């Protein structure tokens, strides 16, 4: 009976925060409490191995609304809880405090929308929660730096176009299958629903900011507050990938798989090349996300359960590592008052803890042994070599190498140059906890790779009981 509480707790958080409207500090505290409570709920849900479908207020499924939690939902719920808790803690203890009450309200609202998105059992509620996630994230982006409004416009206009496409896709799915529940739709459709496929594909690629649809993402990252960037990188862009993984059993098939592999590969190379040339510390990380999300996309286009497992594992590793990178970079940027690399040269020099955290994030993404990203990439390479797709294997290696290149460039500019003359400052206690906690999660993902990998495997197998799409 945990499932409904995943929605009730954030909703309660929203209401309580509305009462504390005029006290931003109290609101930030309440946001942290709500996010932590949701994280605990998600963890206990995962520990009990997911939940069977739950009919809301007792109405049976064809009439009522069902909530469900399979391993994939649990994985995303845990990720959401962790990232939002980290971001709320940073917001509470970090240096920058926007005093706009609406901004603090975004945390429980976003939690409500994301939890709903991951546990919903039917496609139309998926659309409604997707929209709620989108609107709340516009709120997060629009509250940042001086050019935030322009970035918010760019983001919202493109993302709203994506939601139009998602709605078309969902409605077409209903028109073809005649039902809304994911499980019933999979049975009702004979073969992939190809008319809905292009709409859903473009909608999710826009949300995930993959290569041809990435325009909004680096700007949104650079303009958002540090906590906002952490959420954008840790959860928001992964929502697009989650949608693709979730809808793929309904729309995926031979030719579309090849398209997705091509898009993923293009994303991989383009994002990495663009990240190398950035002059802004947060845009560098934003372009890096475009590149990194290419890996799970290629894995999806591949289709075997082994590749999907590696893709999901890498999705988790990337989300945690990128949240960590944005936390460290954002702290420096908040101190200096600029996100430009030129202003940040040597800003973190002598800060051993932060430098270690940044390096840990970069090396995890690049897949340096023995860190977490390595396992995902070995999984992908193994699948590539087994099917003797050599060009794909070399592309994955090239992507990893480029990750190492631009990641170390960022590390060198931020941490390895002689410090400019600045007054000494201390990292706030709460931010130390956030950075150490995210680093610990990354290390735990490496040390406990076996169980996590098996859980990702269960998630992939729950989507494709027959062992991969044909």
Partner 1 sequence: MTTLLALAAGVLFTVGTYQLLGRDLLRIAFGIYLLFNGVNVLILAMGTVSGREAPFAQLPGPYVDPLVQAFALTAIVIGFGLATFLLLVAARLAATQVSLDAEAAREWHR
Count of residues near partner 1 by CB under 8 A: 23
152 contacts partner 1 (rule: CB under 8 A): yes
Q: Give the pair of three-digit tokens for residue 342.
A: 């030129």
Give the Cα separation of 123 and 199 in Å (integer): 14
Q: Which among 19-27, 158-166, 182-190, 307-315 is the span making contact with partner 1, rule CB under 8 A? A: 158-166
**Smallest separation, CB 94 to partner 1 (Å):** 25
Cβ proximity to partner 1, 172 vs 354, nearer residue: 172
355 contacts partner 1 (rule: CB under 8 A): no
302 contacts partner 1 (rule: CB under 8 A): no
**SS3 (DSSP) at 49:** coil
Identify whether the C-beta of residue 39 lies closer than 8 Å to the C-beta of residue 85.
yes
Contacts of 388 (CB under 8 A, 6+ apart): none
Q: Where are the alpha helices (DSSP H) in 224-346?
A: 226-231, 237-251, 254-276, 281-292, 294-302, 305-336, 341-344
Identify whether the C-beta of residue 364 lies closer than 8 Å to the C-beta of residue 393.
no
**Smallest separation, CB 41 to partner 1 (Å):** 27
Among 68, 80, 91, 156, which residue interacts with partner 1 (rule: CB under 8 A)? 156
Identify whether the C-beta of residue 325 lies closer than 8 Å to the C-beta of residue 362.
yes
**SS3 (DSSP) at 120:** strand
195 contacts partner 1 (rule: CB under 8 A): no
Q: Give the pair of three-digit tokens for residue 80.
A: 């959401």
Residues 109-138 close enough to bind partner 1 by CB under 8 A: 124, 128, 131, 135, 138
Q: Which residues pair with 181 in a beta bridge?
A: 122
CA distances to 5, 199, 243 from 190, in Å: 36, 19, 21
188 contacts partner 1 (rule: CB under 8 A): no
* Residue 459 exposure: Cα atoms within 13 Å on the Cβ side: 29
**SS3 (DSSP) at 97:** coil
Cβ proximity to partner 1, 7 vs 39, nearer residue: 7
Among 4, 49, 64, 175, which residue interacts with partner 1 (rule: CB under 8 A)? 175
436 contacts partner 1 (rule: CB under 8 A): no
**Smallest separation, CB 152 to partner 1 (Å):** 6
Identify whether the C-beta of residue 249 lies closer than 8 Å to the C-beta of residue 117.
no
147 contacts partner 1 (rule: CB under 8 A): yes
**Smallest separation, CB 142 to partner 1 (Å):** 7
Among 5, 54, 161, 464, which residue interacts with partner 1 (rule: CB under 8 A)? 161
State how far Cα 33 lies from the chain centre. 21
408 contacts partner 1 (rule: CB under 8 A): no
164 contacts partner 1 (rule: CB under 8 A): yes
**Smallest separation, CB 150 to partner 1 (Å):** 5
Among 21, 49, 150, 187, which residue interacts with partner 1 (rule: CB under 8 A)? 150
Among 2, 168, 397, 433, which residue interacts with partner 1 (rule: CB under 8 A)? 168
**Smallest separation, CB 62 to partner 1 (Å):** 10
Among 2, 16, 171, 393, which residue interacts with partner 1 (rule: CB under 8 A)? 171
Give the Cα separation of 470 and 464 in Å (integer): 10
Give the Cα separation of 168 and 357 in Å (integer): 43
Give the Cα separation of 126 and 158 in Å (integer): 19
**Smallest separation, CB 127 to partner 1 (Å):** 8
Cβ proximity to partner 1, 25 vs 277, nearer residue: 277
167 contacts partner 1 (rule: CB under 8 A): yes
160 contacts partner 1 (rule: CB under 8 A): yes
174 contacts partner 1 (rule: CB under 8 A): yes
Identify whether the C-beta of residue 36 lies closer than 8 Å to the C-beta of residue 434.
no
Cβ proximity to partner 1, 50 vs 121, nearer residue: 121
Identify whether the C-beta of residue 271 lies closer than 8 Å to the C-beta of residue 191.
no
**Smallest separation, CB 165 to partner 1 (Å):** 9
19 contacts partner 1 (rule: CB under 8 A): no
DSSP letters for 414-447: IIISPPPS-------HHHHHHHHHHHHHHHHHHH
Chain position carrying tokens 């929209």: 131
CA distances to 127, 190, 261, 283, 304 from 300, in Å: 21, 21, 8, 26, 8
255 contacts partner 1 (rule: CB under 8 A): no
20 contacts partner 1 (rule: CB under 8 A): no
Q: Which among 19-27, 99-107, 174-182, 461-469 is the span making contact with partner 1, rule CB under 8 A? A: 174-182
42 contacts partner 1 (rule: CB under 8 A): no
Residues that bind partner 1 (CB under 8 A): 124, 128, 131, 135, 138, 142, 147, 149-150, 152-153, 156-157, 160-161, 163-164, 167-168, 171, 174-175, 180
């Amino acid at each position: 009976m945990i499932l409904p509480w995943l929605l009730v707790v954030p909703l309660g958080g929203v209401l309580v925060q509305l009462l504390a409207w005029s006290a931003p500090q109290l609101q930030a505290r309440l946001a942290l409490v709500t996010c932590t409570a949701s994280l605990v709920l998600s963890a206990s849900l995962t520990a009990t191995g997911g939940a069977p479908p739950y009919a809301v207020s007792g109405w049976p499924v064809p009439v009522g609304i069902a909530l469900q939690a399979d391993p994939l939902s649990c994985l995303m719920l845990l990720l959401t809880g962790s990232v939002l808790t980290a971001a709320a803690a940073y917001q509470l203890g970090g240096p920058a405090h926007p005093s706009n009450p609406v901004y603090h309200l975004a945390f429980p609202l976003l939690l409500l929308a994301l939890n709903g998105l991951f546990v919903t059992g039917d496609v139309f509620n998926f659309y409604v929660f997707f929209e709620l996630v989108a609107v709340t994230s516009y709120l997060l982006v629009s509250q940042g730096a001086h050019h935030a409004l322009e970035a918010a416009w760019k983001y919202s206009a493109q993302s709203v176009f994506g939601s139009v496409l998602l709605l078309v896709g969902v409605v077409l799915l209903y028109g073809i299958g005649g039902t809304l529940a994911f499980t019933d739709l999979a049975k009702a459709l004979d073969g992939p629903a190809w008319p809905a496929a292009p709409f859903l594909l473009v909608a999710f690629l826009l949300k995930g900011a993959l290569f041809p649809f990435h325009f909004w993402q680096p700007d949104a990252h650079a303009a958002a507050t540090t906590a906002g960037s952490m959420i954008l990188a840790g959860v928001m862009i992964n929502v697009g990938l989650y949608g693709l993984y979730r809808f793929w059993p309904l729309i995926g098939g031979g030719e579309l798989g090849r398209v997705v592999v091509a898009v993923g590969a293009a994303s991989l190379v383009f994002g990495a090349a663009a990240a190398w040339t950035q002059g802004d510390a947060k845009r560098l990380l934003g372009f890096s996300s475009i590149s990194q999300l290419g890996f799970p996309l290629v894995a999806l286009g591949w289709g075997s359960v082994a590749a999907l497992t590696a893709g999901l594992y890498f999705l988790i590793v990337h989300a945690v590592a990128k949240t960590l990178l944005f936390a460290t970079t954002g702290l420096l940027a908040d101190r200096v008052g600029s996100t430009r690399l030129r202003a940040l040269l040597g800003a973190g020099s002598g800060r051993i803890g932060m430098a270690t955290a940044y390096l840990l994030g970069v090396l995890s993404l690049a897949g340096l042994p023995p860190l977490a990203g390595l396992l995902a990439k070995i999984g992908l390479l193994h699948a590539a070599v087994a099917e003797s797709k050599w060009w794909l294997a070399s592309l994955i290696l090239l992507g990893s190498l480029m990750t190492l290149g631009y990641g170390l460039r960022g590390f060198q500019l931020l941490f390895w140059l002689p410090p400019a003359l600045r007054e000494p400052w201390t990292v706030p206690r709460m931010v130390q906890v956030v950075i150490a906690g995210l680093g610990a999660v990354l290390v735990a993902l490496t040390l406990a790779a076996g169980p996590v990998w098996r859980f990702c495997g269960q998630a992939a197998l729950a989507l494709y009981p027959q062992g991969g799409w044909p």
